[in-house]
Amino acid sequence: MQLASRRAVLCLAVAALAAPAQAANSPAAALIEKAANEVIALIKAKTGRDREAGIRAILVAYFDLPFMGQSALGTHWAAASAPQRERFLKAVASAEARAYSERFGRYGGQTLAVGRVSTRPNGVTMVDSKLSQSNGQPITIQWELRDAGQGLRITDVKIEGVSMVMTRRSDFNSYIQNHGGKVEPLIEELEKRAAN
């Protein structure tokens, strides 16, 4: 047991050493680290509604929420009218704020070690990271970043191989198909949820 934990500490130390070296030449890794630090500071300082508002501000600053929303709607995006798109993006942004506020709210005592950064020819940057917990296995988190004209932004988070955007996309698609293939019921449902 002791040996194992010593090894884990060593791994983390190596990761911690490796991270600044990569962070120095990778704006993507630096962005993730900056966002993580902001989240940690916010979680320590605020609770409840204030925390949700703070998380929302961080999401707007670091995530490309319109892109994520559009990806989540998939092929139905084309079928939606301009006002529908606007309402949908607004509702999805508050849904995301609530979801991440809760996810980050559990963030306490863990450390996020940023690892390998890989840039793809199509302009997507993937940042690997590990969230080490005080008990149990570390959680693998992959961040997907894109630059769509307004600087590098996070466009997807993959936790243990499960993409948040892909899951939402599947979720929304199924809901739309079970409600007559129309986007309107989904928007209404999301707005209703955002209201409470």
Partner 1 sequence: MVAGFFKTMAAGTRHSTIAVLAAAALLGGCASGDTGANEPWDPLETPNRFIFSINRAVDIIAIRPIAVLYRDWMPAPAQRGVHNVLDNLGEPVTAINEVVQGDPSRAATTMARFLVNSTIGLAGIFDVATSFGLTHTKEGAGNTVGYYAGVEPENGGFYMVLPLAGPSNARDAAGLMADYAVDPFRILTFALNVDWLLYSGPRWGATVVDVRSRTLYALDDLEKNSVDYYAALRSAYTQQRADIIRQKREKTDSRSELQRRDNLALVR
What is the binding site for partner 1 (CB under 8 A)?
Answer: 1-4, 71, 74, 95, 98-99, 102-103, 106, 118, 120-122, 124, 126, 135, 144, 160-163, 166-175, 178, 186, 189-190, 193
For residues 111 and 173, which CB has a smaller minimum distance to partner 1 in the complex?
Answer: 173
Comparing CB distances to partner 1, the nearer of 83 and 121 is 121
Q: How far is the CB of 121 from partner 1 (least distance, A)?
A: 7
Nearer to partner 1, 34 or 138 (CB): 138
> 83 or 136, CB closer to partner 1?
136
Closest distance to partner 1 from the beta carbon of 145 (Å) = 12
Minimal distance in Å, beta carbon 26 to partner 1? 16
Compute the distance between CA of residue 56 and CA of residue 98 in angstroms, rounded to an integer. Answer: 8
- Integer angstrom CA distances of residue 16 from 11, 27, 83, 116: 8, 17, 46, 12
Which residue's structure tokens are 């993937």?
126
- Residue 96 CB, shortest distance to partner 1, in Å, is 9
Q: Which of 139, 146, 153, 150 is nearest to 58 (CA)?
A: 153
Minimum separation from the CB atom of position 165 to partner 1 (A): 9
Nearer to partner 1, 46 or 77 (CB): 77
